[in-house]
Structure formats: structure tokens, C-alpha cells
Structure 1
Amino acid sequence: MNITVIGTGYVGLVTGACFSEMGNIVYCVDVDENKIKSLKNGIIPIYEQHLKRIVNNNYNNRNLIFTTELKEGLQNSDICFIAVGTPMAEDGCADLSVVFQVAKNIGQIMTNDLIVVTKSTVPVGTGHKIRKIIQKELDKRNVNYNFEMVSNPEFLKEGTAVEDSMRPDRVIIGSEDEKTINTIKELYAPYVKNHDRFIVMDIRSAEMSKYASNAMLATRISFMNEVANICEKVGADINKVRLGVGSDNRIGYSFLYAGCGYGGSCFPKDVSALIKTGEIAGYSPKILNEVENVNNEQKMVLVNKIKEKFGEDLSNLSFGLWGLSFKPGTDDMREAPSIVIINELIESGATIKAYDPKAREPAEAIFVNNQNIEFCDNKYDALDDSDGLIIVTEWNEFRSPDFNEISNRLNNKLIFDGRNQFDKEVLNKIGFEYYQIGA
């Protein structure tokens, strides 16, 4: 098939690249000329495992075409995916301005019948608004091209996005047109040839499914973080509690890890947008409001532990910090707990030496010209003359470090672990003061 994907962010680039990997001709369209130029030169703007290889191979094979011209894509495609960003607006709602502009452009440019698919995460009812915008532009042109709307929400996890795209656990198709549904099924057939993983529903339910899924996962995280805080008060160990809870097959172990809060591009904005959706409809989502509150407070847990140890004034203290991205496997710094932690520590007088295997560049852009943070090339270099180690992101290379090296580099054998990477009893035996979440 010939496909146009509008937007070359995480969702658009991964989606387009994976469709091209299956032999489709894919036009990836973006208004950012520098980004398109970089992609043509083999420079991938995001880190995602396997993505660079797939993009470059299919670009060289001419299955993947990068362009700033929407017309070039639409005149050669039967399916158009909208995969532009829907960031959180100041009022907490999803900002749909780019989505609606894209819809307008499609109506102004399309020259043939088209299936328009919303891949972007959008509030309930957006698909119908897009339909009206496109039809309005077609009416202005006095042309009568047929188009069908589909909601096809993405469920990609940053760090494993390519794997999730190639082997999805489900493909949700929101549409009321049987021919269109069959076409989208045909497009996805190579990904689900071993199992029928298609779930077909109406557009509004498909739109809601994405928000509900992310809100549920965010709720599990905040719930366990709240339980972890109670564990600390009563002398229980959240690591053991997780085993007891997760072993119940009705619950399972996923997203039950206590930590220093969730971040990223999805959970914060999707929970907020779902809250606003409910409020606009006249309902106040009590649980989701608390999910947000717990998460915001959780990002301060490590800071509070450090201040309990050293006092409110952290002047003349330096800390080595491992992990900047909001999760391992990505360089994404959006809503990362590390940002809150670093800013709070610096505001209290501390200096930071930070290391992350992938997120140094975007982190440097966030903390540009801040003289109180230094970025290191090696995790152990971040410990030199530091008064303690802070672990924020659970990268694999942090799981089994050389504790003798850590001891030799640090001023104090002191670790504040926001991801519960180590065994407290083992560390205590070798002389470390070890502070973790919920134990």
C-alpha cells in the first residue's frame, strides 16, 4: 500500500518506518525542514532501539520517503495517518491546534478518495471534528472526494516502540465503515499473522480506549507509590509487598514498581486530558485527580530524603546523579522526574554531576547555562567529590555497578535510590547508607 504519515515524532517516525519495513511505500511528512533534511542524511532525531537501522535501510530502498510537501504524499496515497503532537495546553486539555490545521490542509490538498486515520492521542469526539473540517474544505473547493475517518490509537512504549509496533498486543480500529475496516486490517495483517488481535469499535470508543489505558497504568504507578509511602511509615518493605500483590493473577506485576514518579510524553498529558474531558462533560474524576497529585508529590520523595539527611540548606554539597530520561531505553526528557529533583536540589544550594547513557543532549538543552550542573561522560566520573549518589532512571548499566569504585569515588558511602535497584541488607553490610522508596 501507499501511505502518508503526517508528523515525524516518536509515533509518526516509528509508525512510518515500520510500515515501510513491511514493504509499503510510506511518505513521512513534516513541516520542519531541518528535521526532514536530517532524516534524509540518516540522522535520527530521537533514540529508539532498532529505529535508525530500519529508517536508513528503507530510505535507501526507497520504501520510505521524507518530504515537507503534503501534496507529494497525498497524491500518491490511499491512507493518511495523522501523527502530530497533542501536547498539554495551559488549562490541562490536549492542544489540538496542529491536528486541526493538518485536517484543514488535507481538505485543501487531497485529490483522490482517502482513508484518514488519527494516530495522535486525541480526546473523544476529535475524529468527528476532523471529518467536519476536511468536508468544509472540500465543499469550498466544490469537489466530491470520498473519505473515511478511522481512530487507530497507538500503544507504543518508548524504549521498545519498534518492537511494540511490529508485534502489537492489540490493534484497535475505530470505524463504522466495513470496507475501511477491512483495508486497515489488511495493512496491519503482517504484524498479527499469528493471532487475530484486531479490536473493532466506534471512533469515540477507540479514542477513549487510549486515554483509559494510559490512565489505568498511571493509576497503578501512583497507587504503588502511595502504598510505598505507607510502608515507610509502618516498617513494611514495598519490594516484598509488590511480590505479594503481583502474584495475584488478577493483578499481575506490570506497572507495580514504586519509584520517584512517572513522566514522559503520555501519562502526564493523557491523565490531565481525561480529567478535563470529564470536567467538560460535567463530571469530576476524583481518582484521576489524586493520581496526578500523588505523582507530583512523589517526584519530591528523593529530595525530601536528602534534606532529612543533610538539612534544608544544601550549600557546599555535591551529588552524583545517574539517569536523566524519564525511563530507560529513551532519551526523552519530557516531564522527567530528574528535572524536578535537579531543580529542587540546585535551588537548595547543591551542585549536580549528572550522567545518562542517552539523554545528555536533551538534558543539556533544558539546563543550558546553569552553572550548578555538570554533565559527565561516565557514570563513575559523576561521583568524584560528590557527597552521595542519586539514582533516578533504572538503566541496565546501573543494575550491577562496581560498589568498590562507587565507594572510592564518593565522599560518603551514601546512595539515594529512586528505583529500588539494590538489596538494602547487602549494601548495609558493605558500609553504605542506602535510602530507597518504600522500605
Structure 2
Amino acid sequence: MRVTVFGCELSGLVTAGSLAHTGNEVLALPIGNLKVEDLRQGILPRDEPGLDQLILSQLKEGRLAFSDDWKAGIEHGEVYMLSMPSWRADRAELVIDEIGKQAQGDVLVVNQSTFPIGTADRFEASIKLAFAQRGLVAKVSVVSMPEFISEGSAINDFSKPSRVILGSQDEDAIAIMRDLMRPFNHVTDQVKVMSTRAAEYTKYAVNALLATRISLVNELANNAEHFNIDMEEVRQGLGSDSRIGFSYLFPGCGFGGPNFAADVQALVGTLQSKGYDADLLKAVLQNNEVQKEVLFRKAWRYFKNDLRGLKIGIWGLSFKPNTATVDNAPSVKTIEALVAQGAEVVAYDPKANPSFKAYWGERNSVTLVEDMYEALEQVDALMILTEWRRFWSPDYQRMFDLMKRPVVFDGRNIYEHDVMVQHGFRHFGVGRGEVI
């Protein structure tokens, strides 16, 4: 099948590469500031595991190409995929306008982007109006197929989906999309068909529910400490309930990333536009912002409300493992709070040092290092903010010898408290370890 993908950021590249890998002829067009020549050379905007190999292999095989010619993209596609970040809605409008002006026959647009509820219906009406004004008689269908990929596991999320949501009442369009997604849906049928608006709402609802779950677990963990309760024991009890399960049940220093909180905030705005206050979701977002500073507050209490002149080591800057993204990450808020109180920060992340440097700029008080143990030299405390696998089994003796004070604030609960104590550390987790 000939597929045109509009958008070459994470979702668009994963979609384009994966569809090309299963035998389709894919033409991908960047919507934004990305350069086609860079993409053709495999220079990608995101450091996503396996993505550069996937793109380069499909370019070599000739099933994937990049272009900045929208007219060529419209001529190429039997299916048009809109795979853009939510903040590029204005660019998506331009794409729809061009399809309405230039398409010469039946049109199938698939919107993967998280745009406001009702967008698919509005896009379909816009193209139909443009066709009518041109006197073109052709079928137009806009399907909502929200993406559920996460940074760090995006290729696997697309190629082995837990569900494929198709929002459409057009049986022909549904049949085409079932066939296009068949290679990723062959073990069990994961396709869920519903209305376009229900599909759009589902994406928002999923993120809202997961965000609520995380914030509730964090609130339970924060309070468990004061009752001398180990939250890990509670987590095991909660997760063993088949109605709850273990996913998104780990307490920590809050969730981040460029899309998760933004999608929940967008849902709040949508509900408010209809006269509903969305108090629960607003509380979830507020609780998460407070939770991002949970380690700072622990350090503030431990060091008797005075962090001036202290040296704090940081392990983990990205908002989650296997990504270089620091957008909205707990590390940003934590480090800003530490520096504001006069602390010096030495930080290490396997991938995100350049991203954090670009964010922090020329401001002082933060040193980025290229080795995790270098971030421990003569520090007064270590904070774990991202649960990278390399942090899970460190050389405890080396840590102890390097640190000025053996104090660890574990924002992802990756260490067992008893083990840390045996190695001579003061260990403070989230709902675990010592209480301050």
C-alpha cells in the first residue's frame, strides 16, 4: 500500500519506519523545522532505541523516502497518516487544506495525533467542502487512530500494540486500516472500532486514568511513611488484586515528559469548555507538580533547612529511562529548587546531558559529568531521579568511598533499604526507607 506520513517526529518516524518494514511504500514529510537531507542520512530528532537502524534499513531497501514536497506526498498516498505532536495542530490544518485543494480522487486520512475532540469530523467536513467547491466527486473518510507509543519503547509499542483504536463508521475505511495494521495485529485481534469522537476521547481518557493512578499511589506512599509502613508491601498487595494490577503502580518523584501532562491538561481545558470543572484532574496535575520536589523537600528537612554550599549528586535527568528528553522532567524542577537554595549540583545521565545542557544554558551551579561515579565525588547527598538500569546495581563500596556523606534520596525506589543500611548509607525513598 502507498502511505504518506505527514510528520517526522517520534510518532511519525516510528509509523513510517514500521509500515515500510512490513512492505508498504512510505513517503514521509516533515512538518516543522526538520530538514529532509538530515532525515535521508538517518539524522533523527529523537534518540529512540532502534529507530535509527529501522529508518536506515528502510531507506536502503527503498520502501521509505523523505520529501518536503506536499504535492508529491498527496499524489503518492492511498492513505494519509497525520502523525504530529499535539502542538502542531495548526500545521495539520494546513495539510488538510492542501489535501482538499490537490487530491484527485478518494481520500482516506488517518489521524494519529492527539488533537481536540471532534477534530476528525471537522477535518472530514473541511475536505468534503473543498471537493464540493472544486466540483470533485470522491469519497472522503477521516479515521481517528490515536497512537499509544511511549518514548524508550516506541517501536515495540507500535509493532506489538495492546490495542488498535479505529474511530470511524466507514466500513471500507475500517477494512483498509485493518489490512494496513494486520502485521501488527496477527496474534490476537486487538482492533477496537468505535466512533471518531470516542476514539479521540479514549486517548485522553487513558492518559487521565494513568496520571490519576500515579498521583494516587504517590499520595499513598507519602503518607505511608508517617505510619511506619513500607509502601512496597502495600504495592504488592494492591497489584495482586486482579481489578488493579501492577502497571503504573510505582511511587516516585512524579511523572514528566512533553506529552503526558499536556494531554491531561488539554482534557481539562476541553471539559471546562463544556462547563465542567474537572476538579479531580486538576488536582492530579497539581499533586504531580508538588511530587516533583519530593526529594528536595526531604533534603531540605534532612539538612535542617539550609542547603547553602552543599554539593548534591544527581543520577538521572531524562523524564524516563531510554530517552534523552528532559521536557517537564522531575529533574528540572528538583535542580532548580536546589540551586535556588544555594546548593551546587553535579549530574549524570546516560543520554540526556546534552538536552539538559541546552535547557539550562549558561547558568551556573550545575556541572554535567560523563560518568555516574564522577557525580559522587565529595557530594553531601545523591538523588536518584530516573531509574536507568545501570543505576540499579552500583558498586556500593565505591559509592561510599567517593561521597562526602553517604546519604541517598531514592526518588524511584530502586534500592532495598536494608541493603543500603548494610553498606553504611542513610537511605530515603518515596514511601520507603527512613522518615524525615
Partner of 1:35: 35
3-state SS, counterpart of residue 304 of structure 1 = helix
User: 2:47 & 2:243 partners in 1: Cα distance?
Assistant: 35
User: What is the match of residue 80 of structure 1?
Assistant: 80
Rate the CA distance shift 1:325–1:285 in 2: closer, same or farther, 3 A.
same
Task: Give the equivalent residue in structure 2 for 1:52.
Answer: 52
Query: CA offsets per residue over residues 247-297 of structure 1, 9 Å max, x none?
Result: 111110000000000011232011111111111112122221211111111
- Residue in 1 aligned with 2:69? 69
Counterpart contact for 1:214–1:266, Cα < 8 Å? no
> How many residues are aligned here?
432
Output the amino acid matched with 2:341: S
Mapped to 1, the partners of 2:98 and 2:347 lie a distance apart of 43
Q: Is the 8 A contact 2:3 2:77 kept in 1?
A: yes
Q: Distance in 1 between matches of 2:91 and 2:316?
A: 32
Selected match of 1:424 from 417, 420, 431: 417
Partners of 1:208 and 1:61 in 2: how far apart? 38
1:175 aligns with 2:204: no
- Give the C-alpha shift of residue 133 in structure 1: 2.8
- Distance (whole Å) between structure 2 residues aligned to residue 133 and residue 297 of structure 1: 42
CA drift at 1:242: 0.3
CA deviation profile, 1:95-128 (whole Å, cap 9, x unmatched): 7323322222322332332201110012211111
Q: Separation in 2 of the partners of 1:233 and 1:109?
A: 65
**TM-score normalised to the size of structure 2?**
0.96
Alpha-carbon separation, structure 2, partners of 1:5 and 1:34: 14
- Report SS of the residue matched to 1:149: strand
Deviation at 1:33, TM superposition (A): 5.7
CA contact (8 A) 2:167 2:195 kept: yes
1:109 maps to a residue whose letter is Q
Task: Write the deviation string for residues 299-345 of structure 1: whole angstroms up to 9, x where unpaired.
Answer: 11111011111244422111110111111111122211111111111
Q: Give SS of 2:66's match.
A: strand
Q: Which runs of 5+ in 2 are unaligned?
A: none
Q: Match for 1:410: what amino acid?
A: M
Q: Which residue of 2 aligns with 1:328?
A: 321
Structure 1 segments, 4+ long, off by >3 Å, are 31-35, 135-145
**Is 1:392 the equivalent of 2:393?**
no
Using the TM superposition, give the Cα deviation of residue 414 of structure 1 relative to its aligned residue in structure 2, in angstroms.
0.8
> What is the CA–CA distance in structure 1 between the aligned matches of 2:16 and 2:287, rounded to whole Å?
36
Q: What CA distance in whole angstroms lies between the structure 2 residues aligned with 1:138 and 1:47?
A: 40
In the other structure, the counterpart of 1:230 is: 223
Alpha-carbon distance in 1 for matches of 2:147, 2:309: 47
Q: CA deviation at 1:401?
A: 0.5
Structure 1 residue 386, shift from structure 2 partner: 1.6
Match of 2:372 among 354, 379, 391: 379
Amino acid at match of 1:55: I
Aligned-partner Cα distance in 2 for 1:269–1:101: 23
Aligned residue type for 2:111: T
Partner of 1:9: 9
Structure 1 counterpart of 2:398: 405
Matches within 5 A, 1:123-272: 123-272=116-265
- Distance (whole Å) between structure 1 residues aligned to residue 106 and residue 325 of structure 2: 37
Q: How does 1:283-362 map to 2 (within 5 A)?
A: 283-362=276-355
Letter of the structure 2 residue corresponding to residue 24 of structure 1:
N
Contact 1:100-1:133 at 8 Å conserved across structures: no
2:316 touches 2:388 (CA, 8 Å); kept in 1? yes
Task: Give me the whole-angstrom Cα distance separating, in 1, the residues matched to 2:179 and 2:22.
Answer: 12
Q: SS of the residue aligned with 1:75?
A: helix
2:8 and 2:31 in contact (8 A); partners too: no
Alpha-carbon offset, residue 186 of structure 1: 0.3
TM-score with structure 1 setting the length: 0.95
Distance 1:221 1:163 in 2: 23
Q: Distance in 1 between matches of 2:287 and 2:184?
A: 37
Residue 373 (structure 1) shift: 1.0
Q: CA deviation at 1:65?
A: 0.7
Relative distance call for 1:285 and 1:34 in structure 2 (3 A) is closer
Can you give the 5+ residue segments of structure 1 that lack an aligned partner in the other structure? 88-94
Distance 1:110 1:375 in 2: 51
Q: 2:93 pairs with 75, 100, 103, which one? A: 100
Q: How far, CA to CA, are the matches of 1:328 and 1:388 in structure 2?
A: 22
> Is the Cα contact below 8 Å between 1:32 and 1:68 reproduced in 2?
no
Contact between 2:28 and 2:67, CA under 8 Å: does it hold in 1?
yes
2:401 and 2:54 map into 1 onto residues whose CA distance is: 42
Instruction: Measure, in 2, the Cα distance between the counterparts of 1:10 and 1:343.
Output: 28
> Is the Cα–Cα contact under 8 Å of residues 143 and 166 in structure 2 kept in the other structure?
yes
What does residue 91 of structure 1 align with?
none
Q: Distance in 2 between matches of 1:413 and 1:400?
A: 16
- Preserved CA contact (<8 Å) 1:152 1:172: yes
Q: Deviations over 1:155-192 (max 9, x none)?
A: 11211110111111111111111011000000001111
Corresponding residue for 1:90?
A: none
Provide the secondary structure at the position in 2 that maps to 1:96.
helix
User: Is residue 397–residue 423 contact of structure 2 (8 Å, CA) maintained in 1?
Assistant: no
Displacement of 1:135 in angstroms is: 3.2
How much is the aligned-residue C-alpha RMSD, in angstroms?
Answer: 1.4
Q: Find the residue that maps to 2:414 and give its secondary structure.
A: coil
The one of 99, 102, 123 equivalent to 1:109 is 102
